[in-house]
Chains A and B, each alone.
Chain A
Amino acid sequence: MSIVDTIRAGNEAQQGLKPRSELTARELLREVGSVLRLSEADAAKLGDVPADPNEDQTMIINMGPQHPSTHGVLRLMLELRGEEVLRCKPIIGYLHTGMEKTGENLTFMQGGTNVTRMDYVSPLNNELVFSMATEKLLGIDGDIPERAVWMRMLLSELNRMSSHLLFLATNGMDIGAVSMMIYGWREREEVLRFFQKVTGLRMNHNFIRPGGVAADLPAGWRDDVLKLLDLIPPRLEEYDTLMTGQPIWRERLQGVGVITAQEALALGATGPILRSTGTAWDLRRDMPYLHYPEMDFDVIVGSYGDAFDRYAIRLNEVRESMKIVRQILDRMPGGDYRIQDKKVTPPPRARIDESMEALIHHFKIFTEGFKVPEGEVYTAIESPRGEIGCYIASDGSATPYRIHVRAPSFVNIQCMPHMLRGGLIADAVAVISSVDPVLGEVDR
């Protein structure tokens, strides 16, 4: 079948949105009402789609997968009545990379390279959750050296800052403040420059590995971080002037994409979406990991569950992350940057020339990989998008038997049909942007 035939035939008809007229009453009720754990009376009130579809002509249009306003290759099928969105269905899978299958063939040392490319906007968080799950399986999660833990926290918070700056940039551009794209990326470059100095790469670092981190912080890192912390607050004030207080911005985002706490919990949404509904749930505070219990920071919570709340939450989370980074700066201890367990971490390069045992360990770790005792764990941390979890089942060999990453954006995308219902199509772009999906982790 030639490529032209493939294009004409493949319409994802089964995966697409069926027109309203072809849905039975029960199907529509499930789609509209019962999903929200509401009573049938409340559900009927919500589903104010026209009873007789012949009366109002509805139109099904397709948005994406290649579209400037979607964050990556997300395809939305929208059923419209004029400008009003009645129903919506996101179709994903355009970036499916088979990472979970590839992960079964990579050793636990190499797993970081695979996992880091899922949520490519906050790669260090992916590596962190994978490393924490591996360490739990190995049983060394209590023995990670202090410096490694603090370094992980520092990098994780800086990554949260760079991810939220990217959100501010793309959100601004999607709403129409196109210069925001330039400003947000300008700040992000500063953070990426620090990452490049520490990890060697701007993105997809593979730096946080099971047992600690890959290398120590370079000399002069404190000055670099202080420079960052001095640079960003005045720029955030600029964003407040440009966006937060501005009437056009508020008109476009307030009351748009509203979701209630009940809906968010029913759909499994976490992160800024859940916090915008008023539910104060942040894994860093409620089920803490690393040294977050010792950090003094606030969990930002919204009240209306609309897109403006989500924007404001992320903007203020940058400020909170800076607060945490300042505390880490003061308290970073010295010591090892990775656990000294010879079976897990490779020896320093100099030792390989001296000791035969070091050479053998190096060889075994990098070719065969270290064996992880059998079992299965699920570890979760708070990524900028919500709860990211890593489920690893090990069969005692050097590669995971099954690795599954619970991606926050995969679950958050399910909120979109509910946020879009009854809104205008122009708001669709604002809503997608406020959900802040990263298609790499949605499709994995």
Chain B
Amino acid sequence: MSDAPAAAPDEAVSAPEPPSRHGCPLSDSRGQVVLHPSRQQYVGVVRALLDEGFEMCVDLTATDYLLFPERSLPVEITPERFEIVVNLLSLSAKERIRLRVQVPADDPSIDSLFDLHPGTEAMEREVFDMFGITFNDHPDLTRILMPEDWEGFPLRKDYDTGTIPVQFSTDFGARS
């Protein structure tokens, strides 16, 4: 694990080596450590972190950056439409780490973490249900929150909230 290098006074001239960990770029988000593995590195990095002591996968979710493609990412990462966000926790070191993996829109699939962290079963099903991202080798990839015959993936940005305009037909006079 390489530490973040000290900032040189004239950074534009001598570009310092970007911080990385387990071969993926590392960034800092409001003081929280974020790793950016690629889809291919994903399971390997999680396994390496598991060996390091991050034994609990606290949360696995996704974001659809269709309307905000210009979010800030390390320069060597190509932004894609979807991002899988995984939060890991190490009880021994009392540390958290976050992973953000880019998933393209034309091939929304990624490997499942079920064999490493069985607690991700329900979380990955929710991501599939809400975003349509499939997880390879997941034991039971079906909808979990919506009815099974629902069409569409609700949390995608091109899926409308479904707000029904309310017409107030009664003239409500002064409250008594």
Contacts and interface: CB of A to CB of B under 8 A. Distances in A.
A364 interface: no
B111 interface: no
A291 interface: no
Contacts of B64: 402
By CB atoms of chain B within 10 A, which of A268, A270, A281, A406 has the most?
Answer: A268
A312 interface: no
A39 to B, nearest CB: 14
Interface in B18-47: 29-30, 32
Contacts, number: 128
A413 B149 CA distance: 23
B57 interface: yes
Nearest to B160: A101
B125 to A, nearest CB: 9
B154 interface: yes
A320 B146 CA distance: 39
By CB atoms of chain A within 10 A, which of B32, B59, B114 has the most?
Answer: B59
Nearest to B156: A101
B49 interface: no
Contacts of B68: 395, 401
Contacts of B118: 34-37, 266-267, 414
A175 interface: no
B17 to A, nearest CB: 24
A401 B85 CA distance: 14
B85 A377 contact: no
Contacts of B120: 268
B30 A136 contact: yes
B160 to A, nearest CB: 9
Nearest to A413: B122
B63 interface: yes
A389 interface: yes
A406 B58 contact: yes
A391 B61 contact: yes
Interface in B125-176: 126, 130, 139, 142-149, 154-155, 161-163
B148 A13 contact: yes
A224 interface: no
A105 B161 contact: yes
A117 to B, nearest CB: 16
A268 B119 CA distance: 5
Interface string A23-53: 0000100110011110000000000000000
Contacts of B56: 265, 268, 270
Contacts of A376: 29, 63, 85
Contact of B145 (A27, A96, A102): A96
A343 B144 CA distance: 40
Interface residues on A, range: 35 or more
A105 B115 CA distance: 36
B119 A266 contact: yes
A31 B149 CA distance: 24
B139 A402 contact: no
A128 to B, nearest CB: 17
A120 interface: no
A178 interface: no
B146 A267 contact: no
Contact of A378 (B59, B114, B119, B130): B59
Given A102-B161, A265-B56, A378 B32 contact: yes
Interface in B88-102: 91, 94, 96, 98
Interface in A249-285: 265-270, 279, 281
B81 interface: no
B161 A10 contact: no
Say whether chain A's binding surface is mostly helix, strand, loop, or mixed: mixed
Contacts of B122: 410-411, 413-414
A380 B63 contact: no
A229 B115 CA distance: 47
B154 A411 contact: no
Contact of A14 (B126, B148, B154): B148
Contacts of A287: 94, 96
A187 interface: no
Nearest to B144: A93
B109 interface: no
B154 A101 contact: yes
B117 to A, nearest CB: 7
B58 to A, nearest CB: 6
A31 B142 contact: no
Contacts of B123: 410-411
Contact of B119 (A137, A139, A269, A391): A269
Nearest to A396: B68
Nearest to B125: A15
A12 B149 CA distance: 9
Interface string A372-403: 00111110100000010101010100000110
Contacts of A391: 59, 61, 85, 87
Across the A-B interface, the 9 shortest Cβ-Cβ residue pairs: A268-B119, A35-B118, A406-B59, A93-B145, A267-B119, A96-B145, A395-B68, A402-B63, A404-B61
20 contacts: A12-B148, A27-B139, A35-B118, A93-B144, A93-B146, A96-B146, A105-B163, A136-B30, A265-B56, A266-B119, A268-B56, A268-B117, A286-B91, A287-B94, A375-B72, A377-B29, A377-B30, A378-B87, A391-B59, A404-B85
Given A375-B72, A377-B29, 12 more contacts: A30-B139, A101-B155, A105-B161, A136-B30, A265-B55, A270-B56, A374-B71, A391-B87, A393-B63, A401-B68, A414-B118, A414-B121
